[in-house]
Chain A
């Protein structure tokens, strides 16, 4: 028996569209801000993780791939992976890298040359200049696009690796957005008491 599909079950398409658009024109990377801002707004306003639960395109994609390819990996994530120390540590690391990306953007704003490369896993520089065409858009906007796209691609790669090793949505156990929104929800639940 299969569950009836809803429109949001197809949101994995959004993730594919996002990476495809960014492949051809890096400025589309800004669309990823939706995945950053919406979960936080929902958590603050509604006090729940509706975005993670229902609308996260990456979550949908990670859940879909093992079912399509009949992957039967049933291993639960190792304890350390969903421990508070790792989750909050990864969140701190992620935010630090985000701040670094903002700094790089500022440097370009201040006159430094634009770097048309995507940095995978915060380490490996992959040339990505084909997706950049000279426009009237200020270079710092393009630099942010490269940084943001790098971050989105990196987190998806990590998500795919842990998906292959463990259960489909293992990425969600330490996803920085998930950790952040759950913390907001916990604070809201405490305040309600």
Chain B
């Protein structure tokens, strides 16, 4: 069962520093192309750890539609 929330990255603001990737317990957030962070929404449980550590505040926690 998927969680009700998930992390979402604002690509325009993300600097791809990797602070979030180091914080995620599930390895659900990565920076594959070095341009911005990408969230694996299947893995993400929306705990908000990445959002709390992001220096630019580009990660928000959103509600999953239909969850």
Footprint of B on A, CB under 8 Å? 1, 3, 9, 43, 47-50, 52-54, 59, 63, 74, 76-77, 82, 87, 166-170, 172-173, 175, 178-179, 181-182, 184-186, 188-189
The interface residues of chain A, by DSSP majority, are classed as helix
Distance in angstroms between the alpha carbons of A175 and B56 in the assembled complex: 13
Say whether, besides A3-B25, A172-B19, A48 and B32 are in contact (CB < 8 Å): yes
The residue that B18 contacts in the complex, of A52, A76, A186, with Cβ under 8 A, is: A52
Cross-chain contact of B33 among A77, A172, A189 (Cβ < 8 A): A189
Interface residues of chain B, those whose CB is within 8 Å of chain A, are: 13, 15-19, 21-23, 25, 31-35, 52-57
C-alpha spacing A167/B19, complex, angstroms: 10
Contact in complex: A173, B33 (CB < 8 Å): no
Would you call B19 and A43 a contact (CB within 8 A)?
A: no
Q: How far is the CA of A153 from the CA of B32 in the complex (A)?
A: 30
What's the A-B contact tally at a CB cutoff of 8 Å? 91
Q: Are B34 and A182 touching (Cβ within 8 A)? A: yes
Interface centre among B13, B16, B18, B57 (most CB of A within 10 A): B18
Nearest neighbor of A2 in chain B, beta-carbon distance:
B25
Q: Is the CB of B19 within 8 A of A185?
A: no
Residues in B with CB closer than 8 Å to A59 are 17-19
Q: In the complex, how many angstroms separate the beta carbon of A90 from the nearest chain B beta carbon?
A: 12
Of the candidates A43, A63, A168, A178, which one forms a contact with B15 in the assembled complex, judged by CB atoms under 8 Å apart? A178
A118–B44 Cα distance when bound, in Å, is 47
A185 touches B18 (CB 8 A): no
* Contacts A/B (CB < 8 Å), 18 sampled: A3-B22, A43-B34, A48-B33, A49-B31, A50-B34, A53-B16, A54-B18, A59-B18, A63-B22, A76-B57, A167-B53, A167-B55, A168-B55, A169-B19, A170-B55, A172-B55, A175-B17, A185-B16
Known: A77-B55, A167-B19, A172-B15. 15 other contacts (CB 8 A): A1-B25, A48-B34, A49-B17, A53-B21, A53-B31, A59-B19, A76-B55, A82-B55, A166-B55, A169-B53, A172-B19, A173-B56, A178-B15, A182-B15, A189-B35
Compute how far the CA of A166 lies from the CA of B52 in the bound complex, rounded to whole angstroms: 12
Q: How far apart are A174's CB and chain B's nearest CB, in angstroms?
A: 8
A186 touches B35 (CB 8 A): yes
Determine the distance from Cα of A49 to Cα of B20 in the docked complex, in whole angstroms. Answer: 13
